[in-house]
Structure 1
Amino acid sequence: MTLKVAMAQVDMLVGDIKQNSQTVIAAALKARDEGEARVIVFPELTLMGYPPEDLLLKPSLEQAIELALDAVLDQVKDIYVILGYPRHVDGALFNCAGVLFNGVLIAEYNKQKLPNYRVFDDKRYFEAGNQALVVDIDGIRIGLSISEDIWHQEPSALAKEAGAQIIFNLNASPFHMEKVNVREALLHKRALEVNLPILYVNYMGAQDELVYEGGSFIVDHKGVKVFQAPWFEAGLYYVELSAHFSVTLRGEETFLVEPLNGALIPNLSTERRLYQALVLGLRDYVEKNQFKGVLVALNTHLESILTFVIAVDALGADRVKAVLMTDESTSEIDSGALISIANKLNVGIERVDIEPMMLAYQVMSPLGGKKRKGSGAKLKARIRTLTLMTMASSLGVMALSSVNKSEMALGCTTLYGGMSGSFSVLKDIFKSQIFSLCQYRNSVKQVIPSNWLQENALDQDVIQLLDIKSIRDYQVLDQVLDLYIGQNLNLEEIVTQTHISYSNVCRILSLVDASEFKRRQSPLGVRVTQASFGRDRRYPISNGWQLGE
């Protein structure tokens, strides 16, 4: 027997239930008429979009979901629709996967495992289900699970006990840099445990700081990947499952699934995957918030140039504007090089002289008449940001910050200066990663002058604080930051692992802890790690925790 399945990697707008239902209807009809699919499988909470957060508490949610389900049931016939949505049942809200066919909601599964860590808050909103669901579609018994369920043994075991011959897992699994390997290892393990193939359908798109990269795939009963959909591409991806039974040496009957038209798309390189996540994160944030475009302040820092290039790749040259802010210290050679980069990408650049503003502000003395060390650099940074935000407002576009994670961690960026903006593309990218991302982008097409990857790579604020003198020093610094922020190791453990002096590690960690108040006021940015400055890491600003504890 065979069963043709369409895996729908869809990009939904959170909360736009009516439009999302129309997208579901259009995709299902296309899968039926053009793809000749018998089943279409959508990701977790498709009707609502993901993650919906406190929109789930809206009093009108129940009626809106019921109307959307009615629309799908009314307009889609002759194809099984397996769809994720939130639904109230007897006053409780569940994260559901419904099976719809020919105007009837024939079965409904409630998510059993509710994650409540990092970016997930399922227990805030949902009640947990406790029963398996198996549906028979054309003689194949399909067990359903949702996202976190597949990370635990019990839901898959319950589905197997209920007679499932294959498991369909509906997902909205946010991107981080190592996630693809983690997912594949997990499904390999789970398939072996239950001796069943698993079809894994993932969400695609970005929502605020979260990115979902698609990459839906299938593993057979031995945990071997036999089909892979593309990453970072919305669409319908078809697989015709050939199902048959085999008897093992122990006399057990095994259900085998083999895709007749399957394909194994090669995994992306780390840099390409990371770059595409940044592009998608920016594009969806601009599109879903209906900004006309973005404005970038170009300077010789690699972060600024990389932010600019990513913006052009995400939105197109016609939706990106650049401003070059100069003063008496600005090098004409550097200015010419920046203008050349903008010209290569067909983006117009406006030059603004901020020297008059600098002079005007410098006549103002602080109380007591004594200026603090470094106040001049902070003043310039704030004037630049004031100029950037004012221009963005007048143009009706969004201003981008180009701050990176190393600067954010150490506080080596000016509050209401360089760290300000409406969105920060590189907020979760360490400085040492900036170099590799620039090199990757140049490998696609040379845009960034190669010599700048060395000559203009160092940040003066970091140099003064930590005696950073080379790219290698940044790699060491970022290793310390990752161990502290990403792995939550203490001071002594970091000293042991890095062989860096106790005093230097102590200095770095002290700067991280002292800069929490700055990070709380930073713009939203694309999340690419499991320890981003945002929903992943929630430390109190006022606290008495000692560094050595």
Structure 2
Amino acid sequence: MASLQILMAQINTLVGDFEGNTRRVLDAVNTAVESHPDCVVVFPELTLCGYPPEDLLLRPSVDLRVEESLNHLLAQLPGGAWVVIGYPRRSQGQLFNAAGVMHGGEIVAEYHKQALPNYQVFDEKRYFAAGDSPCVLSVQGISVGLSICEDIWESSPAQQAADAGAELLLNLNASPFHRGKSQDRQAAVIQRAKETGCAVVYVNQVGGQDELVFDGGSFAVTASGEVAATAPHFVESTQWLSVARNDSGLLLTGNGAMADPEDLAAVWQALVLGVRDYVNKNRFNGVVLGLSGGIDSALTLAVAVEALGPERVEAVMMPFRYTSQMSIDDAAEQSNTQGVTHKVIPIEPIYNAFMDSLADEFEGMGADTTEENLQARCRGVLLMSISNKKGSLVLTTGNKSEMAVGYSTLYGDMAGGFDVLKDVPKTLVTALCRYRNTLGPCIPERVIERPPSAELAPDQKDEDSLPPYDVLDRILEMYVEQDMSAEAIIAAGLQRDQVERVIRLVDLNEYKRRQAPIGVRITQRGFGRDRRYPITSGWRMGH
């Protein structure tokens, strides 16, 4: 009876690190063959270069680096193992997103990805030519077909492999996280399995890469669509799967179906992994952030501590005349609870020095938002100075709701290197704080309960100048994430004056968002790679 031992190697690669990624592959395979010398080890899409490599693929030296890595692997891999791995490969003058099968010191088969995604965060047609044929080979008596990521979301590539005799499909992936993505993946793979009569092994990348987080969650399904094996989400994992043929077809045996993380747990883990990998892969010593006593900075601090440990996190309270004692006390309480370094640096002297310097420029002009913005800019200067001196990354704390409508200050609270909550709406911030507190004491309850305020003016509240956040977030989801028009949103039951005002603010503040730090993407339409609007534009909301 033909059989295979398959290892789903869900690894965390570093884009551009050919040598390091090659070592990770060798380590995983060498460990695997200790248990099963003739096993099949399946790695994610573009493992050798990491995903997404973006314009590194346009560098003239990329072909040489790929060949050096492939040659090194062919010379070092144990001869009995079958290693299925992704890499960019040039053939007849065209660059392909390729998957190769290495065995016995040779590449015995190679497949070129056919379905090249060119939507949301993907722009593979910028770099790759599309393949046009299946790749099926016999591995220890079992007919195995190869496919790559987007191929499994379309019917044709899988059906081509089945028509060519495949009974098992190996699908290599670099599929980034967004809310609900795991369920969508399983549904698509199960549909392909049932359509083709092939079992499918789906191996996904894990780790943070700039704004993207890859959540792993690799799995295998039978030809009838039953989940036979699963790997955990948001962590590196090597998961074994047995495949054997009997009279009724292929029998897959693994650890069975594991439940996906609940929505809030998945978002929390995505934020933590995104911060951890951005800080560590860019070799920062740690992070520093302004802890205001408000809910956004409270959640940002909680994520940072979970990602890096309290010893690598510094929280700085920078009070001004409008800062309440409640805010000062709550910031100190959370810092103490989480065990982080906590500093208090009043900004009154800095603010006064700026105002003295600007006295002639401002003569005869009344106070307005300029003075409010100056407070934020004083804080930004302090945090960036600490960053420069200590080698720590400044985490900004603006949420998606604020970024959407421009409720932020350029070179002030937007000054920093990474915005943890950039794609997290305000209402979700509140829900995540409550979720975090279910894991243990962390965020003071009154930080969650009190009305949000920037505390830049006496008795200031966010809702003095914005709709209630539950209304604002509903409008933003429809306009930003669903591309609905103003009239369609109004028809859905929202007030015209609120809708028109919010949309106007979104359109006007593209220039701010273009200058904002990147942050973890958790929705299908974040303010980053997958939303590219012109700054200078005659577009109006009625269009």
- Place the TM-score, normalised by the shorter chain, in its bin: over 0.9
Match of 1:519 among 489, 510, 513: 513
User: How far 1:331 moved relative to its partner?
Assistant: 3.2
Structure 2 CA distance, aligned partners of 1:289 and 1:245?
A: 53
- Taking the TM superposition and a 5 Å limit, the aligned residue runs for 1:446-465 are 446-458=441-453, 460=460, 462-465=462-465
Aligned-residue offset at 1:180: 0.8
Q: Could you say which residue in structure 2 is the equivalent of 1:502?
A: 496
Q: Are 2:330 and 2:447, in contact at CA under 8 Å, matched by a contact in 1?
A: no
Secondary structure, counterpart of 2:345 in structure 1: strand
In 2, the alpha carbon distance for the partners of 1:60 and 1:474 equals 50
Q: TM-score, normalised by structure 1?
A: 0.95
What is the CA-CA distance between 1:327 and the residue it aligns to? 2.5
The residue number in structure 1 matching 2:391 is 396
1:16-45 CA distance string (max 9 Å, x none): 111211111111111111465610000000
Shift of 1:314: 0.2
- Describe how 1:385-424 pairs up with structure 2 within 5 A: 385-424=380-419
The answer as to 2:121 corresponding to 1:145 is no
| 1:138-193 Cα shifts (integer Å, max 9, x gaps) | 11101000011111111001001110001110000011011011111111211111
Residue of structure 1 equivalent to 2:280: 287
- Would you say the 8 A contact 2:230–2:239 is kept in 1? no
Matched AA of 2:209: Q
In the alignment, the residues of structure 2 paired with residue 461 and residue 281 of structure 1 have an alpha-carbon distance, to the nearest angstrom, of: 31
* Alignment correspondent of 2:370: 375
- Kept after mapping to 2: 8 A contact 1:195/1:221: yes
1:397-450 superposed Cα distances (whole Å, 9 cap, x missing partner): 111100000000011111111122111000000000001100110000121112
Q: Give the CA deviation at 1:501.
A: 1.6
- Over 3 Å counting, the alpha-carbon distance change for 1:523 and 1:60 in structure 2 is same
Q: State the one-letter code of the partner of 2:396.
A: S
Given the alignment of the two structures, is residue 529 of structure 1 paired with residue 523 of structure 2, yes or no? yes
Matched, 1:352 2:345: yes
Letter in 2 for 1:445: G
Greater shift after overlay, 120-129 or 218-227?
A: 218-227
Instruction: Measure the CA separation in 1 of the matches of 2:367 and 2:507.
Output: 23
Aligned partners of 1:139 and 1:305: how far apart in 2? Answer: 57
Give per-residue Cα distances to partners, 1:495-529, cap 9 Å, x unaligned: 111x1221211111111101111100000111111
**Deviation string, structure 1 residues 292-340 (Cα, Å, up to 9, x no partner):** 1100111111110110110010011111111111223333443233112
Does the Cα contact within 8 Å between 2:294 and 2:327 map onto a contact in 1? no
Q: Is the 8 A contact 1:6 1:37 kept in 2?
A: no
| Matched residue, 1:19 | 20
Q: Could you tell which deviates more after superposition, 216-225 or 518-527?
A: 216-225
State the Cα distance separating 1:116 from its structure 2 match: 1.1
Instruction: State how 1:330-341 maps to structure 2 within 5 Å.
Output: 330-341=323-334
Q: For residue 48 of structure 1, what is the aligned residue in structure 2? A: 49
Match of 2:445, SS state, is: coil
Task: Check conservation: 2:231, 2:237, Cα contact below 8 A.
Answer: no
2:72 counterpart residue number: 71
User: Cα offset for 1:458?
Assistant: 4.9
CA distance in 2, matches of 1:388, 1:436: 28
Provide the rounded CA distance (Å) in 1 between the counterparts of 2:382 and 2:496: 42
Q: Distance in 2 between matches of 1:75 and 1:270?
A: 42
Within 2, Cα distance between the matches of 1:301 and 1:103?
A: 59
DSSP 3-state at the match of 2:465: helix
CA contact (8 A) 2:452 2:461 kept: no
Per-residue deviation, 1:451:
2.5
Could you tell which deviates more after superposition, 342-351 or 400-409? Answer: 342-351
The CA distance in 2 between the partners of 1:373 and 1:132, in whole Å, is 65
SS for the counterpart of 1:509 is helix
Cα contact 1:484–1:490 (8 A) shared by 2: yes
C-alpha distance in 2 between matches for 1:420 and 1:336: 25
Post-superposition offset of 1:111: 0.5
Q: Secondary structure of the residue that 2:437 maps to in structure 1?
A: helix
Can you list the C-alpha shifts for 1:270-302, whole angstroms capped at 9, x where unaligned? Answer: 000000000000110011111111001111111
Counterpart-to-counterpart distance in 2, 1:405 and 1:41: 37
Measured in 2, the distance between the counterparts of 1:235 and 1:398 equals 28
Structure 2 residues without counterparts, runs of 5 or longer:
455-459
Query: How many angstroms does 1:368 deviate by?
Result: 6.0
Match of 2:298 among 298, 301, 305: 305
5 Å-filtered alignment, 1:158-173, equals: 158-173=160-175
Aligned mates of 1:15, 1:369 — CA distance in 2: 56
Q: What RMSD in Å do the two structures reach over aligned CA positions?
A: 1.4
Aligned-partner Cα distance in 2 for 1:112–1:97: 11
Deviations 1:207-231 (A, max 9, x none): 1000000000111112222221100
Secondary structure of the 1:400 match is strand
Distance 2:50 2:247 in 1: 38
Letter in 2 for 1:164: A
Aligned counterparts of 1:541 and 1:286: Cα–Cα separation in 2: 30
The question of whether the paired residues in 2 share the 8 Å contact of 1:411 and 1:515 is answered with: yes
8 Å contact kept, 1:174–1:212: yes
Is the contact between residue 403 and residue 418 of structure 1 (CA under 8 Å) also seen in structure 2? yes
Partner of 1:538: 532
> What letter is aligned with 1:91?
G
Matched position secondary structure for 1:451? helix
The alpha-carbon deviation at position 393 of structure 1 amounts to 1.0
Which of the numbers 202, 209, 212 marks the counterpart of 1:210?
212
Q: State which drifts further: 18-27 or 274-283.
A: 18-27
How many corresponding residue pairs? Answer: 534
Please report how far the alpha carbon of residue 58 of structure 1 lies from its aligned counterpart in structure 2 after TM superposition: 1.1
Q: In structure 1, how many angstroms separate the alpha carbons of the residues matched to 2:259 and 2:505?
A: 41
Tell me whether 456-465 or 277-286 shows the greater mean CA deviation. 456-465
Residues 227 and 256, structure 2, Cα contact 8 Å, conserved in 1: no
* C-alpha contact 1:113 1:148 (8 A) present in aligned 2: yes
> Is the CA contact (8 Å cut-off) linking 1:300 and 1:456 kept in structure 2?
no
2:262 aligns with 269
> Residue 269 and residue 491 in structure 1: after superposition, are their counterparts in 2 closer, same or farther (change >3 A)?
same
Which residue is equivalent to 1:250? none
Amino acid at match of 2:293: T
1:57 matched to 2:58: yes
Equivalent pair of 1:301/1:456 in contact (CA under 8 Å)? no
Contact kept in structure 2, 1:5 and 1:37, CA below 8 Å: no
CA 1:134 to 1:276, structure 2 compared with 1: closer, same or farther past 3 Å? same
Is the Cα–Cα contact under 8 Å of residues 45 and 95 in structure 1 kept in the other structure? yes
Q: Distance in 2 between matches of 1:226 and 1:286?
A: 35
Q: 1:95 maps to which residue?
A: 97
- Identical-residue share of aligned pairs (%): 43
Deviations 1:23-74 (A, max 9, x none): 1111111111146561000000000000000111111111111111111111
